[in-house]
Amino acid sequence: MTKRKLLCQNADEDVNKDSKLLSHQDGPYETVILEQTIVKIGALLAQGFGEAGTKIIADNMAKTQGNVDPMIPGNKVVAIFGFCDIRSFTKLTNVLQERIIVFVNEIADIVHGTVDKFSGAANKNIGNSFLLVWKFEEEDTVFDASRGNQVPIHDSARVRQLADMSVISFLKILAQIKKSYYLDKFMRRKEVIRKLKANKVNMGFGLHTGWAIEGAIGSDFKIDASYLSPNVNLASRMQAATVQYGLPILISGELFKILTKQTQSFMR
């Protein structure tokens, strides 16, 4: 038998083996596809809801009726809330037009990736603003109704480390945005420089700590997993105040108290 005939015979035998194998595995193969699809859907749910939606998904998965009920009570948590905002966003949108989505997503990639690396979680994206959250463990806090808006946080190495990481992550974001090649290309366009009178991305950051209600906000048509409280609003207002103070970052006194001594020494 020639070498060519031998190769053809071996190839035919391989095809027959594969055909027999597939015919026996039709059932399991379909199950594998179904499992992979469920895993993908779960990953999309986790990505869409974020860390704040973990309890919402878990509670609905535990139900046997098969329906999704977004109208479930919230959960009180204590966390560090951070807002960051892209400056001159209206002008940027007018200049970049369709490319504004790519521009914002370049910044979002830096913001979300850095915060995740420093033990935080991305929550809401509101056009040119991002809400970031660093949640404390339950044993790190004590709820006391008589204290009103203030929730005592235990002085521990874990608490101080998390507080430090929230500040460091914002500093890292500032540094990475300045070094970004893609953002630099956007900002060096002639029309951008002409409209903004600047060739750098400018952002403002605000940080505050306190309690908030974590849960689903919306209706049967659309829900978002987010946080509601005066403390979240205060973080947003601090971010807005960076414009008046001419600073990139403002943090509250409540957060300053739980930073490590070393990090406090760098504060102005």
- For 40-64, the pLDDT digits (tens) are 766 665 555 556 556 666 666 666 4
pLDDT tier at 23, thresholds 50, 70, 90: very low
| pTM recorded for the entire structure | 0.76
- For 123-169, the pLDDT digits (tens) are 888 888 999 999 998 888 876 555 555 567 888 889 999 999 999 99
- For 81-120, the pLDDT digits (tens) are 999 999 999 999 999 999 999 999 999 999 999 999 999 9
CATH topology of domain 75-265: Alpha-Beta Plaits (3.30.70)
Cβ(252)–Cβ(259) below 8 Å: no
| Closest to 205 (Cα-Cα) out of 240, 155, 252, 239 | 239
> pLDDT at residue 68 above 70?
no
> pLDDT at residue 208 above 90?
yes
